[in-house]
């Protein structure tokens, strides 16, 4: 089989590897579609502190079970599955409180262990979630990015009174917008980015108001309109954003962070305690695959709004370069395997 391997930073090879055999409790997935994410590019460029090389990247993938290991029901052969990349131990403290996404021995497919940019991938059977036939392949491959939005929103119980502000209209902001608007039906979703084309995508994803903060200062626009967001999601992840978010937030607001910067954010106690602001963080997803599959089945979200390009996996280098260099035209880029 062919696998996309990052041998070391900046060195990508399409390798021929032996077809892997599933071990006990595992299944082999014949991969059909995979999505490129910022973290794949970070591993490629050597900017992911968790990555070990050589590594088959890819943690957003969909395919068909074509072999089962010991202890896995053979009836699972032929199932269409989306794979949760989060592998957890099941018994540590975070696992015991429902947060396997921060398991003390967390393993993420495509980061700590070989992932899905490959013609076949072996994964734990319980990570392979059946996708109902009514959900098309292009939706199924987008389940993982929507689980990130499910996790973010799951922290804060959004409601009909909420005025949400989303920083960043990249893939993460865009999935969050759809979920806030179409699953939780919050009152208003405001989106801020500095790229006009991405703000257009935000509007197509359901944003009620978009603001280009390169052209207009965000604080002034919100003040003029008398808007105090009650729920703020930082999907742009610059460390300076937290301070601004605390300033703009309504009393009793919630702020969700999802960035991994190692630079400090500066914040006074007064700016958060004075309004009793709650700050949440969100990493990966905690058992959100069934949640997103349900949303897809009910037609609440539309992943195709994010997909801008599709390439055969042989063109991975072109696909990654386009993804990295062209944020105006490019959002989610898919790779096809075993067409
Ligand atoms: P992206 O880079 O495609 O999108 C970020 C967007 O934010 C861009 O459109 C950019 O123009 C905009 N932006 C940057 N600085 C801004 C600012 N100061 N004000 C307004 N807009 C600004 O990235 P993607 O894939 O959407 O991911 C977003 C972030 O989420 C990344 O930092 C990534 O590391 C993080 N992430 C976190 C995850 C988690 O589980 N916690 C999972 C996936 C991504
Ligand atoms: Mn991803
Ligand atoms: Zn654990």
Ligand 1 center–CA 171 separation, angstroms: 8
Query: For position 40, which CATH number holds?
Result: 3.90.180.10
Measured CA angle at 59 (ends 58, 63), to 5 deg: 90
- 175 shares its domain with 270: yes
Range of the domain at 29: 2-130+306-336
- 265 shares its domain with 162: yes
ipTM: 0.99
Query: What secondary structure does DSSP assign to 23-83, as a single string?
Result: -TTEEEEEEEEEEE-HHHHHHHTT--TT--SSEE----EEEEEEEE-TTS-GGGTT-EEEE
- 316 shares its domain with 206: no
In a domain, residue 30? The reply is yes
Residue 21: CA count within 13 A, CB half-sphere: 3
Alpha helices in 60-140 (DSSP H): 93-96, 137-140
- How many domains are there within the chain? 2
Which residue, judged by its Cα, is nearest atom 27 of ligand 1?
172
Say whether pLDDT at 105 is over 90.
Answer: yes
Query: For position 203, which CATH number holds?
Result: 3.40.50.720
- Residue bearing tokens 């759809």: 178
- 172 shares its domain with 123: no
* pLDDT average, residue stretch 243-247: 98
Tens-place pLDDT, residues 18-38: 999 999 999 999 999 999 999
pTM: 0.98
In a domain, residue 95? The reply is yes
Tens-place pLDDT, residues 3-21: 999 999 999 999 999 999 9
Query: What secondary structure does DSSP assign to 224-256, as a single string?
Result: HHT---SEEEESS--TTHHHHHHHHSPTT-EEE
pLDDT band at 339 (very low <50, low <70, confident <90, very high): confident
Are 81 and 62 a contacting pair, CB within 8 Å? yes
Write down the mean pLDDT value for the chain: 98
Residues with Cβ–ion distance below 5 A, ligand 3: 88-89, 92, 95, 103
In a domain, residue 295? The reply is no
Q: How far is CA 17 from the centre of its chain?
A: 28
- Residue bearing tokens 């592998």: 87
Tens-place pLDDT, residues 167-219: 999 999 999 999 999 999 999 999 999 999 999 999 999 999 999 999 999 99
Q: What is the pLDDT of residue 91?
A: 97
- 206 shares its domain with 87: no
Q: Which atom of ligand 1 is nearest to the CA of 195?
A: 11
In a domain, residue 292? The reply is no
Are 331 and 26 a contacting pair, CB within 8 Å? no
Which residue, judged by its Cα, is nearest atom 12 of ligand 1?
168
Say whether pLDDT at 61 is over 90.
Answer: yes
What ligand has the least distance to the C-alpha of 95? 3
Are 114 and 54 a contacting pair, CB within 8 Å? no
In a domain, residue 98? The reply is yes
- 311 shares its domain with 254: no
Are 164 and 179 a contacting pair, CB within 8 Å? no
Q: What is the pLDDT of residue 50?
A: 83
Which residue, judged by its Cα, is nearest atom 2 of ligand 1?
170
In a domain, residue 296? The reply is no
In a domain, residue 231? The reply is yes
Ligand 1 environment, Cβ below 6 A? 38, 148, 167-173, 192-195, 198, 213, 235-238, 241, 258-260, 282-284, 327
- 126 shares its domain with 159: no
Q: Which atom of ligand 1 is nearest to the CA of 237?
A: 32
């Amino acid at each position: 089989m062919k696998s996309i391997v990052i041998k070391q930073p900046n060195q990508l090879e399409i390798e021929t590897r032996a077809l892997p055999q599933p071990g006990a409790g595992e299944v082999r997935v014949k991969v059909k579609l995979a999505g490129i994410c910022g973290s794949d590019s970070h591993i490629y460029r050597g900017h992911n502190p968790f990555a070990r090389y050589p590594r088959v990247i890819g943690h957003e993938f969909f395919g068909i079970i074509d072999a089962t290991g010991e202890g896995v029901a053979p009836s699972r052969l032929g199932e269409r599955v989306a794979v949760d990349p989060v592998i957890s131990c099941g018994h540590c403290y975070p696992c015991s409180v429902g947060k396997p996404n921060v398991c003390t021995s967390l393993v993420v497919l495509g980061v700590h262990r070989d992932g899905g940019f490959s013609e076949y991938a072996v994964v734990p059977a319980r990570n392979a979630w059946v996708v109902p036939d009514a959900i098309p392949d292009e939706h199924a491959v987008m389940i993982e990015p929507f689980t990130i939005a499910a996790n973010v929103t799951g922290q804060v119980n959004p409601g009909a009174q909420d005025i949400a502000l989303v920083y960043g209209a990249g893939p993460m902001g865009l999935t969050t917008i759809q979920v806030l608007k179409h699953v939780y039906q919050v009152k208003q979703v405001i989106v801020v980015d500095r790229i006009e084309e991405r703000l257009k995508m935000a509007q197509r994803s359901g944003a009620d108001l978009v603001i280009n903060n390169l052209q207009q200062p965000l604080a002034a626009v919100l003040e003029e309109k008398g808007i105090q967001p009650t729920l703020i999601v930082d999907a742009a992840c610059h460390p300076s954003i937290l301070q601004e978010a605390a300033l703009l937030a309504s009393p009793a607001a919630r702020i969700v962070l999802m960035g991994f910067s190692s630079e400090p954010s500066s914040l006074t106690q007064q700016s958060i305690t004075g309004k009793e602001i709650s700050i949440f963080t969100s990493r990966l997803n905690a058992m959100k695959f069934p949640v997103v599959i349900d949303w897809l089945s009910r037609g609440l979200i539309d992943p195709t709004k994010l997909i801008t390009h599709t390439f055969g996996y042989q063109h991975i280098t072109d696909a990654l370069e386009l993804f990295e260099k062209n944020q105006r035209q490019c959002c989610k880029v898919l790779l096809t395997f075993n067409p």
